[in-house]
Amino acid sequence: MKREKQISILKELMRQLDEKVNVDAGVQYRNPASSYTCKDLAAKEWKTFFQNHPQIIGLSGDLPEPGSYLTIEDFGVPVLATRDNDGEFHAFLNGCRHRGVQVASEPRGKAHKFMCPFHNWTYSNQGNLVNIPRSRDFGDIDKSCHGLVELPAQEKHGLLVVHPNPKGSFEIDDLLGDLAPEIAGWNFDSLVYHTESVLDNQLNWKLANDTFGETYHFSRLHKNTLGHIFHGDALAYEEYGRNHRFVFATKNIETLKGVPEEDWQYGENASWLYYLFPNVQLGGGGHDANLIKIYPDPHNPGRSITKVNHYFSQEFIDYVAEVPDDGKGAYERERNPSLDAVVEVFDSTIEQEDYLMGETTQKSAETGIVKEFIFGRNEPALHHYHNAFREALEMPPLEKVG
Ligand code: FES
Ligand SMILES: [Fe+2]
Question: For 177-227, how does the pLDDT look when each residue is reduced to its tens digit (9 = 90+)?
Answer: 999 999 999 999 999 999 999 999 999 999 999 999 999 999 999 999 889
Please report, for the chain, the start and end positions of each structural domain, with discontinuous segments joined by +.
3-51+191-400, 56-169
pTM given for the model: 0.95
Q: DSSP letters of 199-252?
A: EEESS-HHHHHHTTS-STTHHHHTTTTGGGTB--S--EEEEETTEEEEEEEBGG
Question: What are the φ and ψ backbone dihedral angles of 161, each rounded to 5 degrees?
Answer: -125, 140
- Would you say 204 and 304 are in contact if contact means Cβ atoms under 8 Å apart? yes
CA of 162 to the centre of ligand 1 (A): 24
pLDDT digits (tens, 9 = 90+) for 234-293: 999 999 999 999 999 999 999 999 999 999 988 889 999 999 999 999 998 668 999 999
Asked if 235 and 275 count as a contact pair (C-beta separation under 8 A), the reply is no
| Number of the ligand closest to the Cα of 219 | 2
Which residue has a Cα nearest atom 1 of ligand 1? 99
Using the mean position of ligand 2's atoms as its centre, give its distance from the Cα of residue 338 in Å: 22
Which residues are in the CB-under-5-Å shell of ion ligand 2? Answer: 354
Q: Is the pLDDT of residue 329 over 60?
A: no
- Give the integer Cα–Cα distance in Å for 49 and 246: 22
Q: Tell me, in angstroms, the distance from the centre of ligand 1 to residue 120's CA.
A: 6
Q: Residue type for 153, please?
A: A
Nearest protein CA to atom 3 of ligand 1, as residue: 119
Q: Whose CA is nearest to atom 4 of ligand 1?
A: 119
Query: Which of the four pLDDT bands, split at 50, 70 and 90, describes residue 15?
Result: very high
Mean per-residue pLDDT, 147-171: 98
Q: Is the pLDDT of residue 331 over 60?
A: no
Cα angle 230-232-237, degrees, rounded to a multiple of 5: 100
| CA 90 to ligand 1 center in whole angstroms | 21
Name the average pLDDT for the chain: 94
What Rg, from alpha-carbon coordinates, does the chain have? 23
| CA separation for the pair 173, 50 (Å, rounded) | 19
- Give the ligand 1 atom nearest the CA of 96: 2
Q: Which residues are registered as beta bridge partners of 80?
A: 71, 92
**DSSP codes joined into one string, 347-389:** HHHIIIIIHHHHHHHHHHHHHSS--EEEE-TT-HHHHHHHHHH
Among all ligands shown, which has an atom nearest to the Cα of 220?
A: 2
Q: Which atom of ligand 1 is nearest to the CA of 101?
A: 1
Instruction: Determine the atom of ligand 1 nearest the C-alpha atom of 97.
Output: 2
Across 184-287, the runs of DSSP E, i.e. the strands, are 192-201, 236-240, 243-249, 270-276, 280-284
Atom of ligand 1 nearest to the CA of 119: 3
Q: From ligand 2's centre to the CA of 228, what distance in Å? A: 13
d(CA 302, CA 361): 10
How far is it, in rounded angstroms, from Cα 90 to Cα 66?
11
Q: What is the whole-number distance in angstroms between the Cα of residue 217 and the centre of ligand 2?
A: 7
44 Cβ neighbours under 8 A, 6+ residues apart: 393
Distance CA 40, CA 288 (A): 38
pLDDT at 326 (0 to 100) = 60
- C-beta separation of 267 from 56 below 8 A: no
Mutational test site, ligand 1, from 92, 114, 115, 119, max ligand atoms within 8 Å of CB: 119
The predicted-structure confidence for 93-122, as pLDDT tens digits, reads as follows: 999 999 999 999 999 999 999 999 999 999
Tell me which of 73-77, 228-232, 241-245, 324-328 is least confident.
324-328
The Å distance, Cα 218 to ligand 2 centre, comes to 6
What confidence score (pLDDT) does residue 316 get?
86
Question: Which residues have CB under 8 Å from 98's CB, separation 6+?
Answer: 116, 118, 119, 121
Sign (positive/negative) of CA torsion 380, 382, 388, 394? negative
**Peptide bond preceding 278 in cis form (omega within 30 of 0):** yes
Pocket residues for ligand 1 (CB within 6 Å)?
A: 96, 98-99, 101, 116, 118-121
Compute the distance between CA of residue 90 and CA of residue 387 in angstroms, rounded to an integer: 33
> Domain 3-51+191-400 falls in which CATH fold?
Naphthalene 1,2-dioxygenase Alpha Subunit; Chain A, domain 1 (3.90.380)
| pLDDT value, residue 226 | 87
Reply yes or no on domain 56-169 having CATH 2.102.10.10: yes
Residue 64: pLDDT band (50, 70, 90) is: very high
Phi, psi of 227 (to 5 degrees): -60, -20
